[in-house]
């Protein structure tokens, strides 16, 4: 698979319809940046963090303590919300690659995952299952856990396609099909993922402004990856 070609095609699409992608990804980016700014402006966050970690080290951390809730509760909630929105945006990007949607109503399309009950439940359940399975593999060794994470990466997209085709499959079946689909493609996925590290480092120097272009570029590149891999899987 031509990894460079996948990314070049994503760039071409974004550059041709940049205003659409800004509005499409804006809700998720606002949530991510809003939390980051609010957290960084809190003069107590470093103290809370140090206190919480000291509690963990000393074995005195209590479930439900204010420090623990501040560190993990809010950040986990924000991560889940932004992750759900980005999953829906990935569906939109897949449809764009397949020429199944128009470059209109970006704000409405931003909430695709919330506007379809089966998409929403699929994202929640598959997210939980893949997280648990990946953690179980990671208990054995870190590397197998990472590899399995790549193997399960297309499960939600596969589930969504089955729903759209009117033949919804089970959550575990979607995970199984993802594992089968990714045979021979995990290294390409891994290398493409690594290729964005430099961009995200650069983004840190722009106070998140680069995300307006980088987030669509990332999502559209991996949407293109899924479309091509699914085509190869169908041809077998």
Instruction: Encode 143-187 in three state secondary structure.
Output: HHHHHHHHHCCCHHHHHHHHHHCCCCCCHHHHHHHHHHHCCCCHH
**Which pLDDT does position 77 carry in this prediction?**
80
Low-confidence ranges of the chain (pLDDT < 70): 35-73, 235-236
pTM of the model: 0.85
**Which pLDDT does position 42 carry in this prediction?**
53
**Which pLDDT does position 31 carry in this prediction?**
85
């Amino acid at each position: 698979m031509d990894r460079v070609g996948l990314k070049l095609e994503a760039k071409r699409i974004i550059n041709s319809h940049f205003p659409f992608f800004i509005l499409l990804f804006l809700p998720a980016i606002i949530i991510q940046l809003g939390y980051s700014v609010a957290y960084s402006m809190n003069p107590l966050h470093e103290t809370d963090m140090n206190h919480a970690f000291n509690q963990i080290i000393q074995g005195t951390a209590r479930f439900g303590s204010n420090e623990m809730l501040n560190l993990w509760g809010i950040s986990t909630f924000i991560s889940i919300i932004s992750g759900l929105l980005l999953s829906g945006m990935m569906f939109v990007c897949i449809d764009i690659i397949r020429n199944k949607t128009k470059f209109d109503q970006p704000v409405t399309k931003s909430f695709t995952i919330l506007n379809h009950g089966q998409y929403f439940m699929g994202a929640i359940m598959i997210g939980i299952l893949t997280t648990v399975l990946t953690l179980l593999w990671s208990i054995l060794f870190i590397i197998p856990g990472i590899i399995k994470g790549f193997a399960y990466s297309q499960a939600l997209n596969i589930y969504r396609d089955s729903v759209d085709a009117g033949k919804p499959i089970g959550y575990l079946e979607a995970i199984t099909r993802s594992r089968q689909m990714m045979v021979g493609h995990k290294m390409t996925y891994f290398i493409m993922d690594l290729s964005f590290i430099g961009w995200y480092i650069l983004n840190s120097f722009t106070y998140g402004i680069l995300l307006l272009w980088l987030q669509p570029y990332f999502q559209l590149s991996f949407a293109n990856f899924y479309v091509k891999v699914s085509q190869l899987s169908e041809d077998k």
